[in-house]
Amino acid sequence: MDFAYNDEQKEIIKVVRDLVEKEIVPYASEMDETGKLHEGLLEKLAAQGLLGVAIPEEFGGAGLDAITIAAIYEELGKGCAGVATTVAANALASYPVIIAGNDDQKKRYFDIINEDNLAAFALTEPGTGSDAGSVSTRAMKTEDGKGYILNGTKCFITNGGVASVYTVFAITDKTKGVKGISAFIVERDRPGVSVGKEEDKMGIRLSNTTEVIFQDVHIPADHLIGEEGKGFIYAMQTLDLARPMVASLAVGIAQRAIDESVKYAKQRVTFGKPIIKHEVIAFKLADMDMKTEVARAAIINFLNTYYAVPKRNYTREAAIAKCFAGDMAVQVALEAVQILGGFGYSREYPVEKLVRDAKIMQIYEGTNEVQRMVIAGFVANK
């Protein structure tokens, strides 16, 4: 597969890079402090189609290919992983509808997002997490069969408190284990939907992370996505598409760590020369570059598998990219702090934020331990 970007892809990447430089980087520290998106930024992200990168064009989205999406997330990751996470959560929430929704559902769901709104993927619960199949939120069919009543609490939901629509995973038949989980579209303004505790996080601080509570929420039957009992499969298929985006975002963080380190190392002089001329620093930079490039290669490996003809399963490649890039971003960002020394540890410089932001790359969208479980499953069955 040829990964040379075509003119259209180059133009999209340039537009995103400009947006990141002008509208995100100057406000990243402020947004980290306040925990809120800079005023007007959401509209600017929406205007460039970034809230609907994965939504097909026929439903008003940008309908971008996976190669361009990967490049966009790397650019956003360089600017601020919190902004990137806010935007990526829209794609995450959209995928179950793209995968299994009917045209009417796609129109209704994506019309909401197309009006500059955020969405959220509501899978995790206080008692689940890595064991995603142990969901306890219930969706009981109403006696007339025309809908469901939803009860339960989701937690650690990205965009939970700011989303206008949720993709919710709930048990419809508790005798069937993961095959009793179904997926639903739930609008924020349905009676009984409320937002609970907001997390005060180590990193990606501007990204809104909350509990979402469903108390006797009535959902019409036509809000069921795809088939009853297939919700877990749709969630897994969604994560196969979304985990490589986390990898791209992690690569963006690492690249920013390298760029900041090089900038500093060129101007900081010790023992009569810029520290970049000291082998101990140059070798650190070489390692940082090497690891970042290998993570990019893991994403390309995913893309190659994703676009393979005939179609191949890409679960393993998605897990490898996410896991390797997430671990790598933490190592590279920490090295950047070391290169900048005291300045790296200071909030005045951007690199300490990169470490805090990078850490979540090993945790969300399936911990790196879960990714290793997935990869190990493929190794064992070779």
Which residues of the chain form contacts with ligand CAA (CB under 6 A)?
A: 85, 89, 92, 121, 123-124, 130-133, 156, 158, 178, 232-233, 236-237, 239-240, 315, 364-366, 370, 373-374
CB of 43 to ligand CAA, least distance (A): 22
Q: Which residue is at the shortest CB distance from ligand CAA?
A: 366
* Residues whose CB is less than 8 angstroms from the CB of residue 69 and which lie 6 or more positions away in sequence, other chains included: 53, 54, 91, 245, 248
Q: Which is nearer to ligand CAA, 280 or 379 (CB)?
A: 379
Please state, in angstroms and rounded to a whole number, the distance separating the CA atoms of residues 134 and 120: 20
Question: Which positions are catalytic?
Answer: 365
Greatest alpha-carbon pair distance for the chain in Å reads 82
- What does DSSP assign to residue 124? -
Pick from 25, 68, 62, 32: nearest CA to 303: 68
Q: Which amino acid is at 40?
A: G
- What does DSSP assign to residue 301? H
* Residues whose CB is less than 8 angstroms from the CB of residue 63 and which lie 6 or more positions away in sequence, other chains included: 55, 56, 57
The crossing angle, in degrees rounded to 10, of helices 315-340 and 279-306 is 160
* Cα separations in angstroms, 112 against 46, 168, 227, 362, 371: 12, 16, 23, 31, 32
Q: Which is nearer to ligand CAA, 123 or 288 (CB)?
A: 123
Q: Which is nearer to ligand CAA, 204 or 217 (CB)?
A: 204
CB of 260 to ligand CAA, least distance (A): 25
CB of 233 to ligand CAA, least distance (A): 5
* Cα separations in angstroms, 54 against 68, 144, 167, 189, 342: 10, 36, 15, 24, 41
CB of 315 to ligand CAA, least distance (A): 4
CB of 379 to ligand CAA, least distance (A): 14
Q: Which is nearer to ligand CAA, 121 or 306 (CB)?
A: 121
Q: Which is nearer to ligand CAA, 25 or 236 (CB)?
A: 236
Q: Which is nearer to ligand CAA, 357 or 365 (CB)?
A: 365
CB of 371 to ligand CAA, least distance (A): 9
Strands (E), the chain: 118-122, 138-141, 147-158, 163-171, 181-187, 193-198, 209-220, 224-225, 269-270, 273-274
Query: What is the per-residue DSSP string for 211-274?
Result: EEEEEEEEEEGGGEESSTT-HHHHHHHHHHHHHHHHHHHHHHHHHHHHHHHHHHHHH-EETTEE
Which residue blocks in 268-314 are alpha helix, DSSP H? 279-306
Tokens of 214: 């469903």
CB of 282 to ligand CAA, least distance (A): 36
Q: Which is nearer to ligand CAA, 122 or 351 (CB)?
A: 122
Q: What is the C-alpha R_g of the chain?
A: 21
